[in-house]
Amino acid sequence: MTIPWGNIIVILILGVIFIVSSWFISRKVSTADEYISGNGKLGVAFGTTSLLAFWITGNTIMAAPEAAYGMGVIGAIAYSFLGGVAVVSFSPLGKRIHEIIPNGKTVGDFYKNRFDKKNYFFFMVMLFIYMFGLLMTQGIGGGLLLEQIFDVPYALAVVLTFIIVIAYATMGGFSSITGIAFFQVMLIFIVVIVVPPLVYFSTGIAPIYTGMAQFAPEKLDLLLPAGILFMFAGAMFAIGEVFMDNTFWQRAYAVRKDKLMSIFGLAGIGWFFVPLATATLAFVAIGTNQAPAEVNQVAPFIAQIYGGNFVSWVFLVGVWSALASTIAAILNALVSLLIHDIYQSINPRADNAKLLRISKILTVVIGILALLISLPKFLTMLQMLIFLGVINAAFVFPIIYGLFWRKLGATVSFIASILAIAVGYIVYFTVGDLQGVVASGWVSFLVCFAGSLIKPASFNWNKLYRVGQSHASEVERK
């Protein structure tokens, strides 16, 4: 296969822009805390764009059309609903986090001090599995995108994507990632504003509707059972993603408390329209009775056919920016967990220079591992999200109850999480994938609620607040 060097150069140019911008920002990063958590509190503009740059993932733009292609109109609405609701739902949690553990750094701070060691270790293992799985979906998305639009071999596309992201994420960490996020979000919204309208100018709306009614009338049904199930199961696993993902906890700590509700609310509303817009590209495929080689390539497939080279390139640049921003944010979140929750426990005397050096080394190592696990195509992006959703759903209620209800004890939380994941995957493999997500969420809820009534605890909130005071005093001493 001939390698399209001209197309690769376009991606390299975009990568160089990100890397140079990161280098410029990284000159102000001098401590491990700045590398992991940034410098100062983010306002509404940078807080919102930072959230959008992470949460508008390759899944948002590639898997939303996949859902619409499989489930029609309700699939598009359901995918948009799940992510928007999840981010908005985190608003009261973020406010509560600021109140009870104001100077924490990671979700691990909460789990370690709210529950016990067995809960903490189990949660951390599940969190790393989820985050590496999410990294894998972004790598797969980058590979499929460059393969479909630019004819770059899949393996080379994955390697190219990760090398660029590792390079710019390693330089300045959190500060670089949030600094570049504004530019990346602008590129993403150009895709939403430009690509679907240009495609529909080419095809017309009425012919697409007529074609859908002829070739797949069930996909116009707003009460399609599969779509309704996806809407509620999707909301469950998306809320779980947000609640357990350290990236959101980082941003909750990084933004000003008085702006937190506004930031998460705006991010949720802004996110809603992105998958809804790109999902409409799947209607063109259905209405014209065309099928891509792989179902999660439906959006770039249609953009390439009906938009021409210009639309294809705009689509590629925007979606690739979304992939890059998400990969970078996940890398930084994983490094934050490893440094703060693991490395500093092993080596508490490590000075700032060593912590900063180890943080950068870990960014490179995790990036390379993520690259390697992204090379094989195990599942589609949507299938992987649903598979991981069983884990996400299991931790929704331990986190909610853990933040707001002192009666939830460590043993009940542990049983709820393990039982929910076990039952969820049994149902996943025997009944259906979405049913497994729903089962996981329900088991988690019932065990947490009933267990707390049968064997109520009486947690002292000051234990969490003291963790914040400890962090604050350390910063003051430095």
Query: Rounded to 5 degrees, what are φ and ψ at 42?
Result: -85, 140
DSSP β-bridge partners for residue 255: 42
Contacts of 324 (CB under 8 A, 6+ apart): 18, 142, 161, 164, 165, 184
Supply the Cα-derived Rg of the chain in whole angstroms: 22
Alpha-carbon gap, residue 53 to 191, rounded angstroms? 14
pLDDT in tens, 28-47: 777 777 777 665 555 666 66
Which residues of the chain are modeled with pLDDT < 50?
A: 470-471, 474-478
pLDDT in tens, 117-128: 999 999 999 999
pLDDT in tens, 44-101: 666 676 677 667 776 677 788 989 999 999 999 999 888 888 888 888 888 898 888 8
Instruction: Give pLDDT, residue 122.
Output: 95
What is the DSSP track for 12-43? HHHHHHHHHHHHHHHTT--SHHHHHH-SS-B-
Fill in the DSSP letter of residue 340. I
Neighbours of 426 (CB within 10 A): 14
Instruction: Give pLDDT, residue 42.
Output: 58
The pTM (predicted TM-score) of the whole model is: 0.84
Instruction: Give pLDDT, residue 138.
Output: 82
Instruction: Give pLDDT, residue 298.
Output: 87
* Domains along the chain with CATH numbers: 5-29+42-381 (1.20.1730.10)
Alpha-carbon gap, residue 278 to 281, rounded angstroms? 6
Alpha-carbon gap, residue 116 to 132, rounded angstroms? 24
Query: Rounded to 5 degrees, what are φ and ψ at 255?
Result: -95, 160
Nearest CA to 446 among 478, 475, 407, 417?
417
Nearest CA to 84 among 64, 99, 108?
64
Instruction: Give pLDDT, residue 342.
Output: 84
Alpha-carbon gap, residue 299 to 372, rounded angstroms? 25
